[in-house]
């Protein structure tokens, strides 16, 4: 049932609200029998602010989300990247909140926060223990109403550096990122279209920006009449509404923001473009312009994308992946506020003769053939049923947390200007017919023009990837939207400089769980979660590559390849047949292996639980091990390893492991040679010998009772148990002096720095746990010493973290960051300075207080969504933890003194053990190191550590 307050047409809504001078209820959405509904209230303040309130007492948590109706779509030529840049500025303090204090206050409260910018919106959020609701609203309102009071040139320059670092590290230094976020849009959209430039913008536009540009952007777009404040979680709506009114009600409006309208994008004939990237797989990307979100054809186009290019039964999978022409081939459809994009992406295997021109010509022809083939034979009842099966599960996945519910109702408000419900969203797709699919296929795809981008792998190491602004050097008239804007601070009717005190903390409930064992030794642990009608299973099987003796190292990768084979067909069904069964149910089953374990993940709707388990039984107990499937899986794996050689982060991870563990299983990674050594008989042998319930724990989270769980899982007793021996791992010898390695990645715009040493394995209440406490203020939080120095003060990086990472068999201490190439040596010097300062001086009183508050309070948000519950239970099962281990942890934390922590630091923080791996341009990095080591400010540090420049080429 939905209740609405209807307003007279004689007065505008805003005018009536002003006369009433109080919040106005627009609509109350209530639960409805037979439908999945997010109950919430919609309110409007006199200043135009929209408020959404969803009450949910299942956890003592609240999510605050502020959505501004401005993204890169509101920028103009020559001023790209401002929406994203301004998002950064919103975290730099405001009139009543000090520099870097927004992050620190949320962290101290045990909360999580962030922001993101997209084409059509900018979103800020905090997830907090619910007794900190008022503080969160105070923080968000202060930057909405009083940001300009604290804006300085230093902050402006610092965040400009941060954005440039982000672009260098996340776009220019990441394979294919330029293709999808920048290059294709230059061709797909006409010049000047709001989607024709990247959200992050062009660096030369940012370089020309000044402080007044930022101020004008704030004044034009950041007002309550252009925002939605949505709350989801543990509160009473009347109390929450009063607080929102208190903190936001007096903030002045920005100029009216009208709905943005642009002409539909059309492409008469295919438009081709190309660029070069440091990739391995050549990419052919074809994009057709379509329709905006909630257009009447959007749902049918979404379904068309799923039918054409998702799953093992799609025409593109069969034509490209199954035939070994491409490692990945997909089609999908997505829409934004102004337009939509139907995207076909083919990641092709490089040709042996490296004739890329011929390759792209052939791919282009085959893509067109696949489109024609689908139009003739692909629009079937079966294909439509497979696609529909996936929709409902995706809809529920989006609302299994207060964040997800908040994001969902905010989007309904932003795009529709009204409420909706999950059932109606699912029905949009369930009502579709084959005729609907045929209509949109013929209208938007068949015979239509598209933007086509071919991405050529860079061959010459002297070439680099660089963002190119097509409007560079041009001047554009000043956007009239920004003329005459002035800042008039709101009248403060109460003392905003006083931080609100938190309410009484509510007891955090660790998930109640049951545990049992099957006859064959498999452990079962689970908890009921009835918030959505979904069930998730995670099975962790110990072993991975650790079961391999030294004589089997030459076949490293066999664990991963075995898991890949179990993702294929079975004795009784082909890969396509079993995938079809899962798609119709909206279920998924996946096998994945790592060095230490194999993981099986199952997700399904409650109503399809037993049917999904039947498929799990088939896949787990009756694998097909077909020769043709093996050839395909082996080729994909080998080519994937080659592809990782283009990814700086993947290289850094592999080289750091090798630097620490050398030629042991933990130090080595699968190579094309080791994969070549693996035969199908080896995979069968691995499955026979090492897939066993005796080393497996199963975690289940969902809307199901324990007795029903045990009944449904009875089939697993058919799985025969066997002894599995984990091979001992040689303890790495601790280094007596720092070691330094460079992996050369010519002309890389950023350097990936990884530093650390072997440390302790996981334990719940011993030194490992205490080390994680000790690391928090050093590198474990946004306001850590490392991040405040290298990101906020120096502007060398987009972010730097450190942490103790302990598993069942090994542990490490690790520092990691991507930094500007020109700052590589200086970054290393600053990290070492901070490390030495911390290991000798220890933690301060204020840092200890901050650490305790943050880590104790974060307990409230640890177990909210099903995946958090599953992770918690997986740890309990894998490490055989006691039921009250979290209580013991909290008691240790509360009792730790400054001396206790400083002793922990002296014992486990040791700069002499540091091994450093840098992935970047070797020649430039060595030159920078030589120069920095001679500078007065750095030579003492860099010379003392005696960095050994050993290149790994």
Q: What is the pLDDT of residues 672-705, one digit of tens each?
A: 999 999 999 999 999 999 999 999 999 999 999 9
User: Is residue 934 very low, low, confident or very high in pLDDT (cuts 50, 70, 90)?
Assistant: confident
pLDDT over 60 (residue 4): no
* Arithmetic mean of pLDDT, 813-824: 95
Give the end-to-end CA distance of the chain in Å, rounded to a whole number: 67
Element (H, E) at 536: strand 534-542
* Residue 921 and residue 744 in contact, taking contact as beta carbons nearer than 8 Å: yes
Report pLDDT for 5: 35
Exposed, middle or buried, 626 (CB in 10 Å: 0-12/13-18/19+)? middle
Contacts of 10 (CB under 8 A, 6+ apart): none
Given this model, what pLDDT does residue 951 score? 46
Beta-carbon contacts of residue 98 (< 8 Å; ≥ 6 apart): none
Average pLDDT score, the chain? 92
What distance in Å separates the CA atoms of residue 700 and residue 534, rounded to the nearest whole number? 11
Asked if 205 contacts 80 with a C-beta cutoff of 8 angstroms, the reply is yes
pLDDT at 655 over 50: yes
> Has residue 603 got a pLDDT over 50?
yes
Please give the average per-residue pLDDT across 90-116, as a whole number: 93
How much is the pLDDT for 747? Answer: 84
From edge to edge, which strands make up the β-sheet containing 534-542?
A: 514-517, 523-528, 696-702, 534-542, 597-605, 588-593
Cβ–Cβ under 8 Å, residues 758 and 811: yes
Model pLDDT, residue 941: 67
State the pLDDT confidence band at 12, using cuts at 50, 70 and 90. Answer: very low
Residue among 116, 19, 1, 16 at smallest CA distance from 68: 116
pLDDT-based confidence at 466, cuts 50/70/90?
confident
Please check the confidence at residue 626 and state whether its pLDDT lies above 50: yes
Note the Cα 791 to chain centre separation in Å.
Answer: 21
Q: What is the pLDDT of residue 939?
A: 67
Please give the average per-residue pLDDT across 51-66, as a whole number. 96
pTM to 2 decimals? Answer: 0.92
| Predicted confidence band of residue 953 (pLDDT cuts 50, 70, 90) | very low
- Output the pLDDT for position 339: 97
| Least confident window among 275-284, 775-784, 850-859, 931-940 | 931-940
768 pLDDT higher than 80: yes
Instruction: Encode pLDDT of 419-455 as tens digits.
Output: 999 999 999 999 999 999 999 999 999 999 999 999 9
- Tally Cβ neighbours within 10 Å of residue 700: 26
Residues 6+ apart with CB under 8 A from 673: none
* Bigger pLDDT: 747 vs 846: 846
Residue 66 in tokens: 């502020």
Which strands, in side-by-side order, build the sheet including 797-806? 797-806, 811-820, 750-758, 915-920, 739-744, 949-952
pLDDT at 625 over 70: yes
Please state which of the ranges 265-274, 496-505, 605-614 shows the lowest mean pLDDT.
496-505
How confident is the model over 322-357, as pLDDT tens digits? Answer: 999 999 999 999 999 999 999 999 999 999 888 999
pLDDT of residue 6 exceeding 80, the answer is no
pLDDT of 16 > 60? The answer is no
Count of helix runs (H) and strand runs (E) in the chain: 34, 25
- In the chain, % of residues over pLDDT 70: 96
Nearest-angstrom CA–CA distance, 903 and 908? 9
* Cβ atoms of 328 and 321 closer than 8 Å: yes
In this prediction, residue 769 carries a pLDDT of: 97
Note the pLDDT of residue 221. Answer: 96
Q: How far apart are CA 655 and CA 652, in angstroms?
A: 5
The predicted model gives 756-775 an average pLDDT of 96
Give the per-residue pLDDT at 728. 87
pLDDT at 897: 96
Q: What is the pLDDT of residue 940?
A: 67
- Does the pLDDT value for residue 943 go beyond 70? no
Q: With bands split at pLDDT 50, 70 and 90, how would you rate the model's confidence at 256? A: very high
- In the chain, the percentage of residues whose pLDDT exceeds 90 is 81
Q: How confident is the model at residue 168 (pLDDT cuts 50, 70, 90)?
A: confident
Q: Angle 356-377/298-309 helices, nearest 10 degrees?
A: 120
Coil, strand or helix at 333: strand
For 898-932, write each residue's pLDDT tens digit: 999 999 999 999 999 999 999 999 999 988 888 88
Distance of alpha carbon 53 from alpha carbon 38, whole angstroms: 10
With a cut of 60, say whether residue 731 has pLDDT above it: yes
Q: Which of 12, 156, 127 is nearest to 65 (CA)?
A: 127
Look at residue 3 and tell me whether its pLDDT is greater than 90.
no
**Which helix or strand (DSSP H or E) is residue 526 part of?**
strand 523-528
């Amino acid at each position: 049932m939905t209740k609405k307050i209807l307003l007279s047409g004689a007065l505008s809504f805003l005018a009536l609200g002003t006369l009433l001078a109080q919040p106005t209820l627009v609509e109350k959405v209530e639960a409805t029998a037979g439908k999945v509904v997010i109950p919430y209230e919609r309110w409007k303040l006199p200043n135009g602010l929209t408020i959404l309130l969803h009450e949910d007492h299942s956890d003592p948590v609240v999510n605050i989300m502020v959505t501004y109706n401005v993204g890169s779509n509101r920028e103009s030529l020559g001023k790209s990247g401002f929406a994203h840049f301004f998002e950064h500025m919103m975290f730099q303090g405001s009139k009543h909140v000090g520099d870097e204090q927004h992050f620190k206050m949320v962290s101290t409260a045990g909360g999580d926060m962030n922001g993101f910018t997209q084409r059509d919106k900018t979103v800020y959020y905090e997830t907090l223990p619910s007794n900190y609701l008022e503080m969160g609203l105070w923080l968000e309102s202060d930057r909405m109403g009083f940001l300009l009071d604290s804006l300085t040139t230093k902050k402006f320059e610092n965040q400009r550096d941060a954005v440039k670092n982000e672009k260098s590290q996340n776009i220019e230094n990441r394979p294919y990122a330029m293709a999808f976020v920048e290059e294709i849009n230059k061709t797909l959209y006409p010049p000047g279209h709001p989607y024709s430039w990247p959200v992050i913008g062009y660096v030369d536009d940012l370089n020309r920006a000044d402080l007044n540009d930022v101020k004008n952007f704030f004044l034009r777009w950041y007002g309550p009449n252009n925002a939605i404040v949505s709350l989801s979680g543990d509160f009473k709506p009347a109390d929450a509404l009063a607080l929102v009114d208190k903190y936001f009600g007096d903030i002045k409006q920005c100029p009216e923001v009208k709905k943005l309208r642009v002409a539909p994008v059309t492409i008469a004939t295919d438009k081709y473009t190309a660029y070069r990237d440091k990739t391995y797989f050549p990419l052919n990307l074809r994009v057709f312009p379509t329709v905006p979100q909630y257009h009447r054809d959007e749902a049918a186009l979404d379904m068309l994308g799923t039918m054409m290019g998702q799953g093992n039964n799609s025409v593109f999978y069969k034509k490209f992946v199954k035939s070994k022409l491409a490692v990945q081939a997909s089609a999908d459809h997505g829409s934004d506020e102004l337009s939509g994009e139907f995207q076909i992406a083919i990641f092709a295997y490089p040709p042996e003769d490296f004739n890329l021109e011929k390759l792209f010509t052939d791919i282009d022809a085959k893509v067109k053939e696949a489109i024609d083939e689908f139009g003739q034979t692909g629009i079937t009842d079966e294909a439509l049923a497979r696609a529909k099966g996936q929709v409902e599960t995706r809809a529920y996945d989006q609302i299994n947390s207060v964040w997800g519910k908040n994001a969902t109702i905010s989007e309904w408000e932003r795009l529709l200007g009204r409420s909706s419900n999950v059932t109606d969203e699912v029905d949009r797709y369930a009502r579709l017919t084959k005729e609907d699919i045929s209509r949109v296929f013929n209208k938007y795809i068949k015979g239509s023009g598209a933007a086509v981008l071919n991405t050529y792998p860079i061959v010459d190491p002297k070439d680099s990837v660089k963002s190119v602004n097509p409007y560079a050097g041009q001047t554009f008239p000043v956007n009239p939207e920004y003329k005459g804007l002035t800042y008039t601070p709101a009248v403060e009717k109460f003392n905003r400089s006083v931080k609100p005190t938190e309410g009484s903390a509510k007891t955090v409930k660790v998930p109640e769980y049951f545990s049992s064992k099957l006859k064959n030794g498999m452990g079962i642990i689970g908890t009921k979660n009835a918030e959505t009608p979904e069930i998730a299973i995670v099975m962790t099987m110990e072993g991975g590559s650790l079961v391999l003796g030294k004589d089997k190292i030459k076949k490293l990768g066999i664990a991963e390849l075995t898991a890949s084979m179990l993702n294929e067909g079975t004795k009784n069904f082909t890969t396509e047949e079993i995938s079809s069964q899962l798609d119709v149910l909206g279920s998924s089953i996946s096998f994945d292996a790592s060095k230490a374990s194999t993981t099986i993940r199952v997700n399904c709707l409650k109503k399809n639980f037993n049917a999904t388990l039947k498929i799990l039984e088939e896949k787990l107990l009756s694998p097909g091990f077909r020769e043709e499937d093996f050839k395909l899986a082996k080729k994909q794996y080998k080519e994937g390893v080659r592809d990782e050689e283009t990814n700086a982060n993947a290289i850094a991870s592999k080289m750091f492991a090798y630097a620490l563990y050398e030629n042991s299983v933990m130090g080595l990674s699968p190579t094309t040679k080791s994969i070549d050594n693996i035969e199908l008989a080896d995979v069968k042998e691995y499955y026979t010998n090492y897939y066993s319930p005796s080393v497996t724990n199963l975690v289940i989270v969902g809307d199901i009772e324990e007795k029903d769980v045990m009944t449904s899982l009875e089939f697993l007793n058919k799985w025969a148990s066997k002894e599995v021996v984990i091979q001992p791992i040689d303890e790495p010898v601790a280094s007596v002096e720092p070691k330094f390695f460079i992996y050369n990645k010519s002309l890389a715009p950023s350097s990936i720095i990884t530093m650390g040493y072997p440390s302790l394995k996981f334990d719940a209440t011993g030194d490992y746990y205490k080390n994680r406490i000790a690391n928090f203020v050093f590198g474990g939080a946004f306001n850590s010493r490392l991040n405040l120095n290298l990101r906020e003060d120096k502007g060398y990086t987009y972010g730097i973290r450190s942490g103790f990472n302990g598993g069942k068999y090994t542990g490490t201490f690790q520092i990691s960051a991507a930094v500007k190439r020109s700052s590589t040596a200086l970054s290393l010097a600053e990290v070492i300075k901070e490390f030495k300062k911390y290991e000798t001086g220890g933690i301060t009183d204020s840092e200890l207080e901050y650490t305790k508050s943050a880590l104790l309070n974060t307990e409230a948000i640890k177990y909210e969504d099903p995946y958090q519950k599953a992770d918690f239970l997986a740890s309990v099962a894998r490490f055989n933890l006691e039921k009250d281990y979290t209580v013991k942890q909290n008691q240790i934390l509360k009792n730790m003194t400054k001396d206790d922590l400083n002793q922990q630091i002296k014992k486990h923080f040791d700069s002499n053990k540091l091994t450093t791996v840098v992935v970047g341009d070797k020649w430039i990095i060595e030159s920078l190191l030589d120069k920095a080591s001679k500078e007065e400010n750095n030579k003492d540090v860099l010379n003392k550590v005696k960095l050994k420049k050993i290149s790994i080429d």
